[in-house]
Structure 1
Amino acid sequence: MTIERIIVGISGASGAALGVRIIERLAALPDIEIHLVVSDPARRTLALECGIDTIESLTPLVHHHHPIGDIGASIASGSFPVRGMIVAPCSMQTLSAITTSRADTLLTRAADVQLKERRRLVLLARETPLHLGHLRAMVAASEMGAIIMPPVPAFYHCPGSVADIVDHLAARAIDLLGIPIDPLARAWTGSDAANSR
């Protein structure tokens, strides 16, 4: 039995429900060890958007909750093997810190480790509209090896609620880690018109 370690980072952009749902989906998978790190601004967003006043309400779903200032945590080292990391949502401040290797918090240090070890780093970059600095930061992160996944909803699965949209985005982000499981997100299989040609 192989245990897959996954790091989930939640930063302070709007869209905290994405990080929560990713944790919930990962917690339902077998042989997954979840490491959580939450920025200080994200704590406020979790309270405002999700009604989560304390991180302790998420800790039953994860194996390890690492304080944001614990630079000596296991996930701060490349010698600690993990499958990859998702930052959801990923604020522009966090994205900029990652692209400039400013590893001054555990969240950005863990992300930096993923890049230097050539592991998967999925960034749900959350901002709109985007100015040139945002776009350049995304290009820089992509050039360094990160996967940029703005949480843009898909509508081909006919979502009936915001929760459906969040769930699909969470599944897509997890699928991008390449965990050896069946894909979680509902795949596009082509339209009837396209199949009949």
Structure 2
Amino acid sequence: MGIFTAASNVLEPDDTPMTVRAAIALINQVRAEISGEETTGYDRETQFCIDWFDEFGMDESTSGAAIGMAQAYDIGLDDLQKSGVVSAQAGKTRLLRRDELQSDWSPRADKRLTDWECVQHLARVMESPDGGMDAAARLYSEMGSERGEAARMLAYRLYDICERRDRAKEAQVWNMLAQEWPALDAALIRVEDESRRRSSENQGTLGDGLPGWDG
């Protein structure tokens, strides 16, 4: 949209002026194509969660609907429960809310780590009075570059879904996280620098205590 609005005139292939409606339609088409390509790069559980979130948001629906949706990714409802992304009880299924997630969760300790969990926990920590930027940065650091980048792209994707589905409250969460990502990157550098400094100091202290150490 920024490219379109910066130009004084946008032309169709036949050199006629492009209407605003046509420009928006083109933007939405490309965005949908990009979103589809992004989705295929996530783990299967996350792909399910994106589809469910698009269709139902954080609301529950029938477990039959969940099973049918999961089959598209060759996973079962039991796999989703073990991954810690859904609640399935009494024939109803829904995505777990952020306030239901483990407060001491660590991506390094999670044996069934998903991109969905990574972005949800980042949002949870950013929202929490006991969390904040540095706490989120420490979690971000544990995810590694690949999972961290997936979480970043997923935050944008979820905001886009909320905007399209008119889910204002949830959109605020993902808009906040997307806007804070540059600050999160800066905090990540600070946290990792501090971790390296402490590691270096600890090694120096250990070396000082070894017999025959002259350094």
TM tier, smaller:
0.3 to 0.5
Which TM-score applies when normalising by structure 1? 0.33
**Structure whose alpha-carbon radius of gyration is higher:** 2
In terms of fraction of residues, the more helix-rich structure is 2
In terms of fraction of residues, the more strand-rich structure is 1
